[in-house]
């Protein structure tokens, strides 16, 4: 055994704010979903969520970790999804970065963040919330289930109904995504982000271990 030193923590013994920093700082980079929803009065809402990922492709399931406000009330995105059962996930390119940051600012429910940020809403195919013209890829979703994890967190699972890709980022014949053309950004910890274009060349699988299969 080497002489590496470790610091270990019992999860529930760590203050939630410190726990957030410790987990979000280590589990990186995280993709960013710029989620569009529609309020009951028709107001458009857009909010970036970095506790987000794809959990399944059969069926297509996307997961959003939606925080509550400091007073425990549900944020606009969570409220709109709960009431309408629909949302659209727009992937965030570097060109959308400043607009995404504008959408991240806390605004009153009657404020249209899409208009505020200068982004362009495009009608979706199967849901009321629009997708964003600037996004290189977007996924229309209907709420599958909402998990009430705690007073501060919901996890929303959405079933993908339609997928949209800018023409230059997909080889439709091979179903191949040209990731280097998407120019996506990811979330690190605190105020830090990362460009996701430092892509490794795909390497061949290692040779099987002697005496049997690797798995």
In the chain, what are the domains?
28-195 (2.30.110.10)
In this predicted structure, what is the pLDDT of residue 198? 86
Q: Are 128 and 81 in contact (CB under 8 A)?
A: no
Residues 25/45, Cβ–Cβ less than 8 Å: no
d(CA 86, CA 126): 9
Q: Are 195 and 183 in contact (CB under 8 A)?
A: yes
**150 confidence band (pLDDT: 50, 70, 90):** confident
- pLDDT-derived band at 214 (thresholds 50, 70, 90) equals low
- Give backbone dihedrals phi and psi of 70, rounded to 5 degrees, phi first: -60, -30
Contact call for residues 99 and 118 (beta carbons, < 8 A): yes
Digit-coded pLDDT (tens) for 161-213:
999 999 999 998 999 999 999 999 999 998 999 999 888 877 777 777 676 55
């Amino acid at each position: 055994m080497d002489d590496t030193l470790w610091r270990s923590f019992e999860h529930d013994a760590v203050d939630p704010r410190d726990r957030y920093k410790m987990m979000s700082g280590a589990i990186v980079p995280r993709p960013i979903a710029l989620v569009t929803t529609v309020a009951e009065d028709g107001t458009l809402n857009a909010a970036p969520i970095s506790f987000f990922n794809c959990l399944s492709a059969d069926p297509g399931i996307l997961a959003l970790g939606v925080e509550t406000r400091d007073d425990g009330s549900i944020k606009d995105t969570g409220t709109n999804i709960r009431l309408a059962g629909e949302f659209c996930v727009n992937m965030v390119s570097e060109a959308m970065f400043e607009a995404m940051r504008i959408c991240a600012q806390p605004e009153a429910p009657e404020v249209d963040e899409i208009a505020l940020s200068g982004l362009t809403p495009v009608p979706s195919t199967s849901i009321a919330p629009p997708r964003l013209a600037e996004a290189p890829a977007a996924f229309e979703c209907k709420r599958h289930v909402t998990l009430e994890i705690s007073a501060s967190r919901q996890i929303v699972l959405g079933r993908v109904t339609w997928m949209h890709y800018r023409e230059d980022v997909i080889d439709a014949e091979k179903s191949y995504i040209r990731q280097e053309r998407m120019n996506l950004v990811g979330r690190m910890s605190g105020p830090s982000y990362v460009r996701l274009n430092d892509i490794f060349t795909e390497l061949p699988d290692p040779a099987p271990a002697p005496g049997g299969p690797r798995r």
